[in-house]
Structure 1
Amino acid sequence: MLLLEKGIGGKSLLDIVKVVHLTKRIIPLFWGAFLSIFILFLPGRVWAIQNSYKVGIEDVLSITVWGEPELDKTVVVAQDGTINYPLLGNIAVAGYTVKEIDELITRLLAADYLVNPQVDVMVKEYRSQKVLVLGEVLHPGLYILTGPTSLLEIISRAGGVSDKVGNQVSILRSPVEERKIKDNEHASTSVEEKEAKSILIDLEELLKGRDLAKNIYLEPGDIVFLAGKKDTNISEQQVYISGRVQKPGAYEYQKGLTALNACIMAGGFDK
């Protein structure tokens, strides 16, 4: 049974508490070797995470100002996308990279309070950016993005594919609200609606290296669904959908079911 609830990204549509499948799963031997080599040699991976990660609601930041211990703080990004910081009050940070937050705090402190402040901002806990991985992987569930994360990486984090995996991966890109932060005074934001869309990818072509362009980077709120083989016996499996849909409840799992179709079965998104 798949259990889905609201909660991705604070406002988005789906979250997961528990996923239980009735069939045993085995990771093909080639999978671990392929992913290990592919991920290990991503250039500058560790250093790029902190610089490119966009901070979001519930993330925990560590802020250090050298020589000013009273300004060294650990702060949590509030539901309105702001942090409360000494001297500066509420500052909008959701949607900014760590580097941009560092530069912003440096500029604000230098304007009225300190001479040449040396600010260091780091993400202490990643909490805001999540994706849901379902279907024929070893460990379906909710995963937190800690930086740019590709489709193959998230499948690897989910334990790799099962022996019942088919050739199709569906990515449902949900209609979450995207914050666009204007030049800070100190919490000015605008919101842009994005329409839901489904992206279909041939997994076999991707794994064989024939179409690495399809190894796309995921976005917060994405739902990744790996369909099973056509001959997989799933007659006893069910999907339970709850949260921001019109008709929450239990539905019979159908062959080739995509995440988007599951939402449609439940009456579509609840406005």
Structure 2
Amino acid sequence: MPVFRFKFLLMIYFLIHACISFAEDKNDFVLGAGDSIHITVFQNPDLTLDTRMPESGNITYPLIGLVNIGGLTIADAERKIARALKDGGFFQQPQVNIVLVTPGNQISILGQVSRPGRYALDTPKMRISDALALAGGASPTGSDTAVVIGTRENKPFRKVIDIASIFLDDKQDDNIQVIAGDEIYVHRPPVFYIYGEVQRPGSYRVERSMTVIQALAEGGGPTTRGTQRSIKLYRRNSAGEVVESTPSITQPIQADDVLYVRESLF
């Protein structure tokens, strides 16, 4: 086969593939709040419109006025506008084309996740667990909780979600729906500190329902010179003051607790 003919056929293949991909995108992408779109009608430049989708999904289009295309795929929105132009008696067979300039139905997932960034909402009813899955979930350095910031009913919205409890404690009500413009942040996990007569002093992650004895085990336990009977706990109170206490071994550990294992006197 001549080289020129091969290159020509290859170009045709990629052109067809691109058209198929574009058609699939039109069938799949759902228009939502914040999407910037470019609308044209073949051989009618006066009907060209550049607009951004409002939350209501209603846009004002020449000749037909208010039309709701929110929640429709691009292909369905094209058909709806074309049908309105035809039913209004303006055209026999209008060819409407909508191009997505900038997707607006995106969320930001930040912090300690595997793949932080901006993600398009694949569905208008995406839950926070599904959204975090888009970013690969929390990284090994990530917390069990996520903070969701956005707006609801034109008011600032902020909610701290315990992701693990959704599955461990069946708190499905906390698996809230995320919407366009939401920001999800996963912070570093809470840590406690242990030092003194322990095998491995340092900072460690506070696990769920962790107790003093479990925290001591995380540090490798007391050295031959230490004893669990002489543990001191240093915890900051609501006033920001550090308070010293002698905890029981079953007392829960909190974020930023400091455990000091003292040397045994005997």
Bin the TM-score by the shorter chain. Answer: 0.3 to 0.5
Higher RCO (C-alpha under 8 Å, 6+ residues apart):
1
- Bigger radius of gyration, 1 or 2? 2
Using the size of structure 2 for normalisation, the TM-score is 0.45
Using the size of structure 1 for normalisation, the TM-score is 0.45
